[in-house]
Structure 1
Amino acid sequence: MRHGSIPGTHGRVRPLTLLGDPVLHGPCADVTDFGPELSALVEDLFATMYAAEGVGLAANQVGEGVRVFVYDCPDDEDVRHLGHVVNPRLVAADGVVVRGPEGCLSLPGLEAGVERYDHAVVEGFNAAGDPVTVHGTGFFARCLQHEHDHLAGHTYADHLKGWRKRRHLHQISRAPWTP
């Protein structure tokens, strides 16, 4: 997902994986090694997300097929949520279904109205292997669902139906990054 602020980070900016790359379209593997390589990946994800002005980024969006995502995302009350989740499980997605504009760093320049729940809970681990539970409402709930989808091999475009899907597929076919 896209946003704006760019705090400092120690990771390196990696090239973004674009729609059509096989790593975006298959389920990611669980992380089994909670060592320095994982910490470096988390730092790289933050650096790449900030450089691209995003609010969330999944590991497969930089070509790594493992279950990790980072976020720096406000909720609807403009409260900032900053963190990462390793091996996340979406344990709740409920509340009111809201259709809102959604973009993706792997589909640059495009967005579509996507229906998402306004509440989500993700459980997983941090890079040190400690359990974490992340609760999100509003826009932050949308972000959690969006990044969790990436790790299952889905993008927001997979949620579109009917004329919205046809219009979006046409926009993708005309995008400058489409091969």
Structure 2
Amino acid sequence: MAILPILTAPDPRLKTISTPVDKVDDNLRALMDDMVETMYDAPGIGLAAIQVGVAKRILVIDLAPEGEAKDPQYFVNPEIIWTSEDYASWNEGCLSVPEQYADVERPAECKLRFLDYHGQAREIHATGLLATCLQHEMDHLDGILFIDHLSRLKRDMMLRKIKRMVRA
């Protein structure tokens, strides 16, 4: 497995709309394994393939609390098929927007259809942090960052901070 470089805003590749995966094979599983290793190394709880420069509809998530056994989840061609009318606000961060956090409001629950690590079709009903994380990571697949949900003023301030960090 390999640690892959993570793209950071304002890299234009992060605005790319990712394309569907044709099939889950050994090469794709190797990419997903590398993504999980990269996510753990960062450290983070979710990572979309576009964040490592691969414009495919793939994301990985692990919400296991620190100190507990790792529990990576793999989502290929994920599709939200239902969201609740209730919303929840979470303080979000992103490996592609380092050291920046903001409250983002999203549907509190969602139902997702996807292919798993072995290419099997699955559906899950997600609530709480998992629902938020899935929606956050799926935004990446459509070229959306969590800061795009903020006011222009807040977004521009965060981008300026990131640019200063990169220069330093």
Give the residue type in structure 1 aligned to 2:166.
W
TM-superposed CA distance for 1:73, in Å, is 1.6
For residues 103 and 125 of structure 1, what CA distance do their matches in structure 2 show?
26
Equivalent residue for 2:74?
A: 84
SS in 1 for 2:98: coil
Residue pair 2:108, 2:127 contacting (<8 A) in 1 also: yes
* Unpaired runs of at least 5, structure 2: none
TM-superposed CA distance for 1:74, in Å, is 5.4
- Could you report, residue by residue, the CA deviation over 1:145-165 in whole angstroms, capped at 9, with x for unpaired residues? 00111101111111113xxx4
The 1:134/1:58 distance shift into structure 2, 3 A limit, reads: same
SS in 2 for 1:136: strand
TM-superposed CA distance for 1:178, in Å, is 6.8
TM-superposed CA distance for 1:33, in Å, is 3.3
Verify: 1:167 aligned to 2:154, yes or no. Answer: yes
Equivalent residue for 1:177?
A: 166
Verify: 1:136 aligned to 2:126, yes or no. Answer: yes
For residues 134 and 36 of structure 1, what CA distance do their matches in structure 2 show?
24
Residue pair 2:57, 2:78 contacting (<8 A) in 1 also: yes
Q: 2:142 aligns with which of 152, 165, 173?
A: 152
Verify: 1:122 aligned to 2:94, yes or no. Answer: no
Matched residue count: 162
Equivalent residue for 1:18?
A: 8
The 1:81/1:159 distance shift into structure 2, 3 A limit, reads: farther
Q: 2:25 aligns with which of 30, 35, 42?
A: 35
The 1:114/1:140 distance shift into structure 2, 3 A limit, reads: same
Give the residue type in structure 2 aligned to 1:174.
K
Residue pair 2:62, 2:73 contacting (<8 A) in 1 also: yes
Runs of 4+ in 1 over 4 A off after TM superposition: none
% identity of equivalent residues: 33
CA RMSD of aligned residues (A): 2.0
For residues 74 and 135 of structure 1, what CA distance do their matches in structure 2 show?
18
TM-superposed CA distance for 1:168, in Å, is 3.3
For residues 108 and 95 of structure 1, what CA distance do their matches in structure 2 show?
31
- Could you report, residue by residue, the CA deviation over 1:36-72 in whole angstroms, capped at 9, with x for unpaired residues? 1101011011000000111110000100000000001
What TM-score do the two structures reach when normalised by structure 1?
0.83
Give the residue type in structure 1 aligned to 2:54.
E
* Unpaired runs of at least 5, structure 1: 1-10
For residues 23 and 154 of structure 1, what CA distance do their matches in structure 2 show?
11
For residues 56 and 156 of structure 1, what CA distance do their matches in structure 2 show?
13
Is the helix fraction higher in 1 or 2? 2
Matches within 5 A, 1:66-81: 66-73=56-63
